[in-house]
Amino acid sequence: MDVGFIGLGLMGRPMALHLARAGHSLHLWARRPASLEPFRDTTARIHASAAEVARHAEVVFTMVGDAPDVEAVVFGPDGIAHGVPPGLTLVDMSTIAPASAQSIGARLAAAGIHFLDAPVSGGEVGAINATLTIMVGGEPADFERVRPLLELLGKSVTLIGAVGSGQVAKACNQILTGVTVAAVAEALNFARKSGVDPARVREALLGGFAYSRILENHGQRMLDRQFKPGFKAWMHQKDLRIVMSEAHRLGLMLPNTAATAQLFNALVGMGLGEEDSVSVLKLLERTSDKNGK
């Protein structure tokens, strides 16, 4: 297929490369020319605008920061929606608010463009290894059309429901991952402050009901002081801001998520937004060590 990809950052770059390696003709545009460098020696065609990408593609993927970025790439000057023949399928894999996905989908439908919201979980490692969890909202026929492409990017691909449903599932994912990352950091910092080896504590907990993938993977990264971003802290802050905004709209009480969102706010405020979300451990350490050991 002729496949467009816009958003060649930490995760988008390896995802696009998977599509190219599978034999699909890749069409690219980037807001930052440096993002295109890894593709200079491939068969990918680089275009002058997002609209040009869409004119040459049957399916276009977008993987950008937030709803305003999606809207700019889709509806802005020389955006995807301009001058594209009806029938194009746009798959947005960014994490945005469900209401934003629904609004974008409705505007595209009026122009004859099919739309799926398909946010992912798994971070940079999942993108590199093509083991992402992909949560999709949209029409079943549109989903089936692009399923073979999605299966090149992830090990779990699930149609949740109508447009916006993928973003609801991703919000649920961010609640669970955010709260659990914070809980693991709290537990390991508690062990350290108690004079007990956090590594031995983690080893013991992995064998009981406290086991989780986050304790296993992220917990080890905390012990290794590996804060290089696989999923940047500012992105988790943004995602939890989406969750809390939706909670206010729905009149829901999310006490654990609210507290975790404040931790990520503080983490970004400390200047650690570009580090991995496991850097929340640093925040807890600095707070607990402020007045001595």
Give the model confidence (pLDDT) of 208-253 as tens digits: 999 999 999 999 999 999 999 888 999 999 999 999 999 999 999 9
Q: Please, how many CA atoms are within 13 Å of residue 125, restricted to the half-sphere of its CB?
A: 9
Q: Is 282 a catalytic residue?
A: no
Torsion angle of the four alpha carbons 170, 176, 179, 181, in this order, in degrees rounded to the nearest 10: -90
Instruction: Tell me which CATH code domain 2-161 carries.
Output: 3.40.50.720
pTM of the model: 0.92
Domain 168-289 maps to which CATH number in 1.10.1040.10, 3.90.25.10, 1.10.760.10, 2.60.120.10? 1.10.1040.10
SS3 110: helix
Active-site option among 155, 170, 193, 282: 170
Phi first, then psi, for residue 241 (nearest 5°) are -65, -40
Give the C-alpha separation, 80 to 88, whole Å.
10
> pLDDT tens digits for the chain (293 residues)?
999 999 999 899 999 999 999 999 999 999 888 889 888 888 899 999 999 999 999 999 999 989 999 999 999 999 999 878 889 999 999 999 999 999 999 999 999 999 999 999 998 999 999 999 999 999 999 999 999 999 999 999 999 999 999 999 999 999 999 999 999 999 999 999 999 999 999 999 999 999 999 999 999 999 999 999 888 999 999 999 999 999 999 999 999 999 999 999 999 999 999 999 999 999 999 998 875 44
Neighbouring C-alpha atoms within 13 Å toward the C-beta of 97? 17
Which has the closest alpha carbon to 164: 127, 210, 117?
117
In the chain the first and final C-alpha atoms are separated, in Å, by: 60
Label each residue of 36-58 as H, E or C: HHHHCCCCCEECCCHHHHHHHCC
Break the chain into its structural domains and give their ranges: 2-161, 168-289
